[in-house]
Homo-oligomer: A and B are copies of this chain.
């Protein structure tokens, strides 16, 4: 093991004080060009690296941002995380990524850990409506969750409008609209369901028995089609249009419809949500509501940076990012 070289050694080598070296490194304060050269070359020569722990302790700032994400394995979330990490890195921050597995308990634990690590800020991508982040006094930006607290920064896709648009499209292209969702308390889900029913209402369609709630919450989307199977079988409409709460459910629905011999997209149309990779990989490719992950992540990072620059500003901001309908092969052309 090479020895870790500290600012003190640099000072010794250059025959100056520790303070002077610090000044040169941070280009802060006064020093002669000569000193500057000496210090810089000593740094290069020794491979000195500033100890962020010490800096953090002194400045009360770790330069680390925590990112809480339900499941990094999920294509939508990983896309957001990746972009967040990129944007943060550009701003000089490192990111600690934490998988919450959608568990409120894990979320609370990680929040504690992050807070101990003195992270400067936290980005929470989550759908859990629990409230344990309330007693953490670190700037937080929420992606896709809208917690019930006074001032907060929230970035969210327009789930309501996306669902509305999808449902309207199904109706417009001649299908009788249904929705398949999952059992969850997520706010995003609620918004999407609301959008679905509002579209129905607008078209004065009877809204009874139009929703199926899948009970399996896991990602093991295959072989779990029995619920969907009976639901679809029992629909008497000739042309069935299904809006699903996400692309995984859309995939399940697609497989089920194929199993039942439905003609897609002539008699059976599907629109998913998220525009996750799975929608492009499936055969036929699934139409979906695109969430702009890049913009979600960039906006979140940007707002967090603003908050960090001026922590005393309450900043009660809610930014909605528009979604758009991506038409693929489970829908008819308009």
Contacts and interface: CB of A to CB of B under 8 A. Distances in A.
A47 B89 CA distance: 31
A112 B283 CA distance: 44
A84 to B, nearest CB: 10
Given A251-B281, A281-B278, A78 B85 contact: no
Interface size class of A (residues with CB under 8 A): 35 or more
A137 interface: yes
Interface string A76-91: 0011011001100100
A52 B180 CA distance: 46
Given A53-B62, A72-B82, A85-B97, A282 B283 contact: yes
A2 B137 CA distance: 6
A87 to B, nearest CB: 12
Nearest to A279: B281
Nearest to A62: B53
Contacts of A310: none
A327 interface: no
Interface string A35-72: 00000000000010111111011001010100000011
Contacts of A251: 281
A72 B74 CA distance: 10
Contacts of A4: 60, 137
Given A113-B94, A115-B49, A281-B251, A73 B75 contact: yes
A94 B117 contact: yes
A99 interface: yes
Nearest to A277: B278
Given A96-B64, A222-B280, A311-B1, A118 B52 contact: yes
A116 interface: yes
A116 B51 contact: yes
A216 to B, nearest CB: 16
7 A-B pairs with the lowest CB-CB distances in the bound complex, closest first: A283-B283, A97-B97, A53-B56, A2-B137, A53-B57, A281-B281, A52-B116
25 contacts: A1-B137, A1-B311, A1-B312, A2-B137, A49-B112, A49-B116, A50-B116, A52-B117, A53-B57, A53-B62, A53-B118, A64-B96, A64-B117, A71-B82, A72-B78, A72-B85, A73-B78, A78-B78, A81-B97, A82-B99, A89-B98, A94-B114, A94-B117, A97-B97, A282-B282
